[in-house]
Amino acid sequence: MPRGPCVWSVYNAERWNVDVSKIGIIGFSAGGHLASTLSTHFDPGNPSSDDPVEQMSCRPDFSILIYPVISFTADFSHAGSRKALLGEDADEELVKHFSNELQVTEETPPAILIHSGDDKTVPVENSIVYYEALLEHQIPAELHIYPFGGHGYSLGIGQGHLSTWPDRVYQWIKYLSE
């Protein structure tokens, strides 16, 4: 069974004129948890499979994490995301498994993180601990913390300084491509 659009994009890359070394993932809030989960729990592929799609890794080449939920173990965890994903009484090992700051390895792709210091929904510490884990494993990373903005500002269109975060991401992706 195919593993999703990312693998199909790689499998059909030549036909679609896609550079397979530049496929990333972006996620906002709980979607940021999903993106960081793919970045830390990706399927490496099975080179011995007869299916060419199954041979390919699902590891993104980079991740863009916007006010992401990262940790389920810390005091600053987002309880609603934890409960929605793992249930009311999740096993502690499962909680650690999906606390993605604990799952960063040398294989984790580079990431840029965008957050607001005054985010009361998903505290900025989520981005900080993931950034620190990336640095600890010598993974290229960039972190932008806006002083104000709260949570859920999307592209920040019409919101002053918040509207500059897509420019930061664009510049970072250009830097990665150099």
Reduce the DSSP state of residue 145 to 3 states and report it. strand
- pLDDT score at 55: 82
- pLDDT score at 156: 93
For the whole prediction, is pTM greater than 0.75? Answer: yes
Kind plus residue range of the DSSP H or E element containing 71: none
Residue 25 DSSP one-character state: E
Q: Which of 34, 91, 68 is nearest to 143 (CA)?
A: 68
- pLDDT score at 66: 98
- pLDDT score at 46: 87
How far is 109 from 112, CA to CA, in rounded Å? 10
- pLDDT score at 2: 43
How far is 87 from 173, CA to CA, in rounded Å? 36
Which fold is adopted by the domain 25-177? Rossmann fold (3.40.50)
Across the chain, which has 178 residues, the per-10-residue mean pLDDT values are: 50 78 93 97 89 85 98 90 92 95 98 98 98 98 97 94 96 91
The region that residue 136 occupies, defined by phi over 0 for left and psi between -120 and 50 for alpha, beta otherwise, is: alpha
- pLDDT score at 74: 81
Residue 157 is encoded by which pair of tokens?
A: 């269109």
